[in-house]
Amino acid sequence: MSYEFTGKVVHIGEKETFPSGFYKRIVVIDDEADNYPQQIPFEFLKQMADKLDSKGIREGDKVTVRFDLQGREYNGRWFGSLKAWDVNRMGETRRAEPKDEVQRQLDETLDEETALDEDVPF
């Protein structure tokens, strides 16, 4: 199941590259709520990390991100993440990649992440 979140980009992290060749970027988006604003980190994996630059997404932009919730167990602890599969500036009408293609890319990435479990410092 996929979700959608709209807000203002407050941080775009540098590309993190791992020994397996896998890479990602973290983008933090503020929901701009009046009383209790939340700054939510989203993971942009591989090709999606590259699309941040090709789409010209910058800090301060208002965006809508489409994402999937993912979770897994590692050594008796549970971890969750928000894996972005599309992002657009507010007001843009660019068409998102077909979900099937994005899901295929995420599945490949998950296989690579499994190989990274030994590199995880927790």
DSSP one-letter string for 70-92: EEEEETTEEEEEEEEEEEEETT-
Residue-wise burial string across 25-48, b where 16 or more C-beta atoms lie within 10 A, e elsewhere: bbbbbeeeeeeeeeeeebbbbbbb
- Give pLDDT, residue 81: 94
pTM, full prediction: 0.72
Tokens standing for residue 33: 């709520």
H or E segment to which residue 63 belongs: strand 62-74
Domain count, the chain: 1
Domain assignment of residue 51, given as a range = 2-119
Count Cα atoms within 13 angstroms, Cβ side, for 110: 13
Give the pLDDT of the chain (122 residues) as one tens digit per residue: 789 999 999 999 999 999 998 899 999 999 998 899 999 999 999 989 999 989 999 999 999 999 999 999 999 999 999 999 999 998 765 455 555 566 656 566 555 555 455 555 54
Give the CATH number, domain containing residue 60. 2.40.50.140
